[in-house]
Chains A and B, each alone.
Chain A
Amino acid sequence: MSDEMMEEDGVIKKFMFVNRKAPYGTIYALEGLEVVLISAAFEQDVSLAFVDDGVFELKKGQDTKALGQKNFSPTYRALEGYDIEKLYVERESMEARGLSEEDLLVDVQVVSAAEMADLMAEQDVVISF
């Protein structure tokens, strides 16, 4: 019902999903990713930002066996298939955690905190997890 309404409206907004939390320990990252995947069906201009501990969501080689939780990090690699290709990682957050671009499991654009602020200011809708 709502899908049809969207198509009639033809509204395309800039949505940014801001990921701020580590992938495990709380459910925010996992449930945030569920919103991102649903948003793909609405043909909006979607981008993802990774700041603070959120940069850990993209860390290569996640092993959750000992946690007894599902490793959902492969889903970030599938985003391209949903036409979600704008992934921004804040340089300051990444470097403060001893990570570099080579440690991440997908191609991203690394931006400064100031650039990230500009990107956020451009958005119509910002939802953070």
Chain B
Amino acid sequence: MKIGVLVSEGPYTHQASDTAYNFVKAALDKGHEIFRVFFYHDGVNNATRLTEPPRDDRNIVNRWSELAKEHKLDLVVCIAAAQRRGIMDENEAKRQGKDAHNIAEGFRISGLGQLVEAGIQCDRLVTFGD
């Protein structure tokens, strides 16, 4: 099955990102295709590489990056939601005249159309959030 995933809550505060990660891993293990994982609302905070949790805790951001690398996942961060919350890639930082960028490896910034497209293309769109 072709599956799209929507993550709409930030890491650590909320279980959504953890559950989405476990779901994606399980789906891949079962041979399903993950078409895209889309991060919206505070979910965009899953994409900052400046995240530095205590050593005995999981690193939610790195975990996504590693999974993306291993399975060539398409991790997309909504640009409008990202701009509001200070998640930037190099191009966007330049465009906005910012002195830094923070997007983690394996994530890319794009528009909300990518979420709608996932809804159209996938057999299932599964939401993780409140």
Is B112 within 8 A of A35, CB to CB?
yes
Which residues of chain A come closer than 8 Å to B84, judged between CB atoms?
27
Q: What is the bound-complex CA distance between A5 and B121, given in angstroms?
A: 10
Q: What is the bound-complex CA distance between A44 and B125, given in angstroms?
A: 15
Using A2-B114, A35-B112, A125-B125 as known contacts, say yes or no to A15 and B119 having CB atoms under 8 A apart.
yes
Give chain A's interface secondary structure class.
helix
Is B41 within 8 A of A127, CB to CB?
no
Using A28-B41, A127-B127, A128-B127 as known contacts, say yes or no to A35 and B115 having CB atoms under 8 A apart.
yes
Q: What is the bound-complex CA distance between A42 and B41, given in angstroms?
A: 21
Answer whether residue B1 sits at the interface, using C-beta atoms and an 8 A cutoff. Answer: no
Is B113 within 8 A of A2, CB to CB?
yes
Give chain B's interface secondary structure class.
helix
Minimum Cβ distance to chain A for residue B7 (Å) = 12
Interface flags for A1-26 (1: CB within 8 Å of B; 0: not) read: 01101100101010100000000000
Minimum Cβ distance to chain A for residue B42 (Å) = 8
Closest to B118 in A: A125
Answer whether residue B40 sits at the interface, using C-beta atoms and an 8 A cutoff. Answer: yes
Which residues of chain B come closer than 8 Å to A5, judged between CB atoms?
117
Is A34 within 8 A of B80, CB to CB?
yes
Interface flags for B66-110 (1: CB within 8 Å of A; 0: not) read: 000000000000001100100000000000000000000000000
Q: List 12 A-B contacts (CB under 8 A).
A: A2-B113, A2-B117, A3-B113, A6-B117, A6-B120, A9-B120, A13-B120, A31-B81, A38-B113, A41-B113, A125-B120, A128-B127
